[in-house]
Amino acid sequence: MRILLQFPEGLKDKALLHAKKLEEQGNEIFISASPTFGACDLAIDEAKSINADKLVHFGHAEFHHVDFNVEYVPYTIDASLDVLDKSIDFLKDYKTIGIVTTIQHIHQLPKIREFYEKNGKTAVIGKPYGFAKKEGQILGCDVGSSATIDNKVDAHVYFGGGIFHPFGALIHTKKPFIMVDPFTNSVELIDQYREKMRKRSIGKIAASLSANRFGILVSTKNGQMNMGLANIIKNKIEKEGFQAAILVSNNVDFDSLNNMMEFDAFVNTACPRIAVDDLDRARKPILNASELMESLKMRNENKRI
């Protein structure tokens, strides 16, 4: 069988190891050298271009159905739970807590829940919106496991490494959010980032109030493309008397984007984190759909004054 292997950046150093194992089983193996941002970013075009029979995607669980033979190989990590002891002081004022993690630690959720319940907490594990497949799992674009239980808990706990995943959940919840990192053996309350992002969002909207020409970002990645939303946004902008164009790319290259000087602002319909994490890389404001609607609403209100 001809197989293309795809690895996220953190697992690319294991590519040759897996390739050799599959070759020893009689397969013809190729390795994708392109970057991948998750299970929304499958190397299907590369697989088809080399006539591969299957794509094996490492590190993530299934994100959405695609019309190709894809095998997902999630990467699990048995991280030490010793750091949970440190989190008890941070949670002393909260009785009911929500627990979330990534696919790498989802198998550890039962023990994490057991730990907190032994320490007098009521532990709640929510369900994702649909892109993530496991209860308690969060993605950069699916924080339902936190957001859907925000009104049922006193605080949230994220178990895992780095701030990327809890950051997405943080800005879609209102309750205190604790990050428990087993790799740095640290516990941190990260609520302060909510206000920071709220102010940045207000700043983006304010900066777009004078914009007349909008570029609407559309990704061709199989799990990110949303041409329907892009067309709705384009029609809305033009109905308000402004110019709009749909900009199509696979990866959002900010050097290229910054060269498109005709546009006064951009509206993102690709990975939702682009309008959150990459603001400093663009010379012009990048809005999400709701921020655009708020900008247009404010303009109309100013006209009536």
**Residue 284 DSSP SS3:** coil
- pLDDT of 280 reads 78
Residue with tokens 């293309």: 4
Domains 2-73 and 84-190 agree in fold:
yes
Total-model pTM: 0.87
Average pLDDT, the chain: 93
In percent, the amount of the chain with pLDDT more than 90 equals 79
Buried b / exposed e over 117-133, threshold 16 CB at 10 Å, is eeeebebbbbebeebbb
pLDDT tens, position by position, 45-93: 999 999 999 999 999 988 888 899 999 999 899 999 999 999 999 999 9
Residue 42: band (very low, low, confident or very high) from pLDDT cuts 50, 70, 90: very high
Please give the class, per CATH, of domain 84-190.
Answer: alpha beta
Q: 3.40.50.11860, 3.30.720.110, 3.30.70.20, 3.90.550.10: which CATH number matches 194-300?
A: 3.40.50.11860
Query: Which pairing describes strands 96-101 and 186-189: parallel, antiparallel, or unpaired?
Result: unpaired
Q: Dihedral through CA 167, CA 172, CA 177, CA 181, nearest 10?
A: -30
pLDDT by residue (tens digit) across 201-242?
Answer: 999 999 999 999 999 999 999 889 999 999 999 999 999 999
Q: Which pLDDT band, with edges at 50, 70 and 90, does 258 fall under?
A: very high
CATH T-level topology, domain 2-73: Rossmann fold (3.40.50)
Distance CA 106, CA 76 (A): 8
Mean pLDDT, residues 32-36: 92
Mean pLDDT of 193-198: 90
Position 299 confidence tier, pLDDT thresholds 50, 70, 90: confident
Task: Kindly provide the b/e burial profile for residues 17-45, where b requires at least 16 CB atoms within 10 angstroms of the residue's own CB.
Answer: ebbeeeeeeebebbebeeebbbbbbbbbe
Could you tell me the pLDDT band of residue 304, with boundaries at 50, 70 and 90?
low
- Per-domain residue ranges for the chain? 2-73, 84-190, 194-300
Three-state DSSP class for 9?
helix
